[in-house]
Amino acid sequence: MERLKRDNERLWLVLEASRMGLWDWDMTTGQVDVDDHWIDMLGLDHDQVRPFSIEKFMMMCHPADVDKVNKAIEDHAKFESDFYQVEIRLKGAQDQWFWIKSTGKIVKRSDDGEPLRMSGVHEDVSTLVRERIRGDIARSQLEAAQRLGGLGSWYLDLATDKVTWSEELFRMQGLTPDKEPPPASTHHQLFSPESWERLSKALTETIAHGTPYELELEMFNNGNFHGWMLARGEAIRSPEGAIVGVLGVALDITQRKSRETELRKKALLDPLSQLGNRTAFEISLAQTIKQANQSGSSFALIMLDIDHFKEINDQHGHDVGDRALVQVAERLRATLRGDDQIFRIGGDEFVVVLANPMPKEKLGEIAARLVLAFRTPILQLKKPLVATISAGLVSWNGREDSHDLLKRADEALYRAKSAGRNQLASDDL
């Protein structure tokens, strides 16, 4: 409890210092919960804002930004972006417009992939945007540090090639602030290879053409992962318009990235069985087909469900039904190989992806072992509860898409049920 209290206090301080506010949107009802920081950053009265809804939020958006918000939400909902992120204007107290960076993630979907809940943060970037427009070097650096707190900054003077760092940037990189910044020739060691490549290209564009950048970068220290940085940079121009330097700011977003990773995992996890859900299965199957196409290999897929599962629920109750589903998941894990991928795609339906190619004899062994594993009790009630399975196995033929492959697997499963259940059917064995 004490640790949880400390973590909550740290989170509150981070939100207070960084001018960030949390929001949580129930996409089925339209209700949006916002925390006090979210309301305070806009200078609004708490009682006037709450209760809050997506309709109220859209009314607060600048008319020119509404389509941008809707497009970002739609892209994320369709899995066309890893997360939702837009920079928009919101109307706050006294009709003042605030520049807000809105970032979020769908954290809950229905079994068929429909978004149900989205959570995220709003960051007040008003000062940074306006300073970028005005090009006020000194004020930009000062107010960015004041606004965000713990924000690292640096400046590159192109006339001298001299780089200066703020103390916060030294600390962010795990270095001692009382020393000079590392030589430019070693800066690649501060980032992962992929991050350094993106940062190098962005810096080149900024110096050559004045193009600003914003990147999320993996920090390294002594060759090991050190955390995540949100890096922004822009060109500094002389009164005549010549590019004379580059000003950069960096925010440690390690905790935020960790939360995003956890949210992403939860969005792909069936909470009951702790297996991947339907969304995770669809993503994995698409990747498996793509890899098989590229490598010229094959794979197999097993679709199965529990025989007479409705009767288990009707006779023993849904609590026992849930326990049975958990035990089925455990038995699948124990029976199959460690690299086989198992998913619960809804109700009592499970799918197994056997990604590594194998001869038919080996497939037959796995199929037989799988069916036999469920002929012994999975729960000890007043009487032992046996829950057999019916399954259909198919091998990818090298041409099918996900839809056609699943159709064949479903047809094989249907044949197993029609033949009396408690067995596996396949045309590939």
Catalytic positions: 348
Q: Around 236, how many Cα atoms within 13 Å sit in the side-chain half-sphere?
A: 17
How many Cβ atoms from other residues are within 10 Å of residue 269's Cβ? Answer: 16
- Are 282 and 121 contacting, i.e. CB atoms less than 8 angstroms apart? no
What stretches of 163-253 show up as alpha helix (H) in DSSP? 167-172, 193-209
**DSSP type of residue 228:** E
* Contact by Cβ (8 Å): 378, 387: yes
Is 21 in contact with 98 (CB distance < 8 Å)?
no
90: part of which helix (H) or strand (E)? Answer: strand 84-91
Distances (CA, A) of 76 to 72, 158, 345: 6, 40, 21
Q: What is the DSSP string of 251-318?
A: EE-HHHHHHHHHHHHHHTB-TTT-SB-HHHHHHHHHHHHHHHHHHT---EEEEEEETTHHHHHHHH-H
CB 409, CB 397: distance < 8 Å: no
By C-alpha distance, which of 371, 420, 418 is closest to 393? 371
Residues across the chain: 429
Residue 407 near residue 309, CB atoms below 8 Å: no
Note whether 71 and 50 are within 8 A (CB): no
Whole-number Cα distances in Å, 22 to 35, 40, 75, 145, 320: 6, 11, 21, 21, 38
Residue of 362, 351, 358 whose CA lies nearest to 410: 351
